[in-house]
Structure 1
């Protein structure tokens, strides 16, 4: 089973063709040259090849042996060294007492990770929120490069966030006389939430403005291009709504876990202060504040999606009504042509080259014409009356028909 998995398509796409060819030749050579009387040597060689290939596969998938992770480090005073440094993954795990699986959210192989998460450890808080991936400690903050989201540390958005975080940490650190100032880790966490919520609010305002403009235009005129634009905006709103709901659910889950809230007091943990399960009012109030903001964004987005859905239903009703009107017009034209066929039939009988008593009279033409017109009018009136009865079918009539049966 492991050999089949090792040589699967997903692995072949990640290794170089030349290296793959050499490995195939090596394994084939082992199969041909290994003597039957020496199974131990054959097994050792095959095991070494399997171990080497599995190690290469793990390194390719998870980036274990692939250099470093770009990041920016803040000290306890909010100061930073270089704009970005390269840190080895193994050193990051060992130095900050993390587990290898904790770094899956910030690995370079991770692409477009939409699900936010907060992992609380004894020595740090690992947070992945939208485009921000950071490790918060009691006296330092590490901001990782969000390669998968397309936003690097050198981008304008990331630079603004780093500058905002630096100012917040410096201002709070210099205000030592304020006894009610938040701990270092909470200030960093607050800066991350402020930046994430500002991005969500800006994106929401853009989406709602464009969507409201499309809905206003559709109130005056319904065209194919406007319907296509409404469909595109509806898809964007649903993606944004899902993203906001995931953030809100993350905060909900975090607020329900008292032990995790107590573990987020990294400064107290470092100083040896043990908090009981209910002693987490500061972080609880902080999270509830931003939870309310996220919930407001979710509600506004949900209302807009509801308006779009209502508009789509109204447009479908209008289109169905127009379709029914066209079908009704087609039926009326068919009935008219069929009624006219009755008059033509009477005229054709009168014009046949056969002897009859009508041709010898003076009133034959008037009688044939009158009968044809009367039959046409009567047949058309009868069909229109039946069609009008079908149009007047309502819910009450349907209920009466059901009661009869």
Structure 2
């Protein structure tokens, strides 16, 4: 394949099915190296060399390419390499879009369930879902960047027009052979017809005019081929723009899904913060109540000491002590509540 397509070894390493490489489309002198998801192939002006031919996506690609090649489109047709590249882009974009749609179908119900019921199992599912989303977004972004890079570089697009380069090479070889045969015949004819005369004969002048007309025709053909190349570059750019819109739409889907996940995470964090605040408020009330109850303990400890006092001789002294202590404790408790609300430590 390296000799047949004039490819370096590093380009073939990108096509190895055993390794995972990011999506890449490379234009070479005689081939286009395509690595788009499952489709890994080498496209020339006449054929497509597919790797991993037992894969179902590769078999679908080959069958669809054969079907499209049998159909003749009306008007101007794209070159063979562009049709093969178009089908590879279509297969990659369709595959990524299908994965994005499948991820959306699985994600939105799970996220809605998580907002209503926060559990460890649901959080684990969302974590795995987010990992898949990040990996898929990276793959889609790489395909999008590769298409955008090709669209921004006219040189790369011109390099990918293999049919035009093949026709130029064939016409150049054919023109050189024709000119070589004509010069050989002309040299032989000149030596036989006019050995010494400095003045050109009518036959020689006609031959010179023919040679000049051949040069002019070859120059005009180069100009026309350049114009044809520009036209086909525009066709390739329009083709790439179509699939750029498709892959950009897939990327927007994944971006929207990521934003939805981020919003769900923010909502869950708000809920957890609210629960945490409620726990802190309950702890604050419990601490205040514990402080008030501790006052009763202090009073009970003081009156429980073994010393003589006239307070115990007063009638109903124990009830009065309880009442006064309770009133003081309630006053202290509500004073703390007022202070907490004044400092906005608790809701009003």
CA–CA separation in structure 1 for the residues paired with 2:243 and 2:165: 24
Match of 1:128 in 2: 35
205-214 or 263-272: bigger deviation? 263-272
Match of 1:87 in 2: none
Matched, 1:275 2:232: no
CA–CA separation in structure 2 for the residues paired with 1:390 and 1:243: 52
SS of 1:181's partner is coil
Match of 2:162 in 1: 266
CA–CA separation in structure 2 for the residues paired with 1:222 and 1:184: 55
Q: What is the count of residue pairs matched by the alignment?
A: 290
**Larger Rg computed on CA atoms:** 2
Specify which structure has the higher proportion of helix.
2
Deviation string 1:65-103 (CA, Å, 9 cap, x unpaired) is: xxxxxxxxxxxxxxxxxxxxxxxxxxx111111122221
The alignment yields a C-alpha RMSD, in angstroms, of: 1.9
Shift of 1:158: 2.6
Report matched runs for 1:159-170 at 5 Å. Answer: 159-170=59-70
CA–CA separation in structure 2 for the residues paired with 1:180 and 1:358: 117
Report matched runs for 1:314-325 at 5 Å. Answer: 314-325=267-278
CA–CA separation in structure 1 for the residues paired with 2:154 and 2:97: 29
Shift of 1:278: 4.6
- Consecutive unaligned residues of structure 1, counting only runs of 5 or more, are 1-91, 146-152, 395-405
- Consecutive unaligned residues of structure 2, counting only runs of 5 or more, are 169-221
383-392 or 136-145: bigger deviation? 383-392
SS of 2:130's partner is helix
SS of 1:98's partner is coil
Q: Report if the CA contact (8 A) 2:39-2:88 is conserved.
A: yes
Structure 2-normalised TM-score?
0.79
Structure 1-normalised TM-score?
0.68
Shift of 1:238: 0.8
Report matched runs for 1:3-402 at 5 Å. Answer: 92-107=1-16, 111-113=19-21, 115-145=22-52, 153-171=53-71, 175=72, 178-272=74-168, 274-275=225-226, 278-279=230-231, 280-391=233-344
Deviation string 1:207-251 (CA, Å, 9 cap, x unpaired) is: 111111111212322221111111111111111111111111111
CA–CA separation in structure 2 for the residues paired with 1:180 and 1:294: 26
Instruction: Identify the structure with bigger relative contact order (alpha carbons < 8 Å, sequence gap 6+).
Output: 2
Q: Report if the CA contact (8 A) 1:343-1:375 is conserved.
A: no
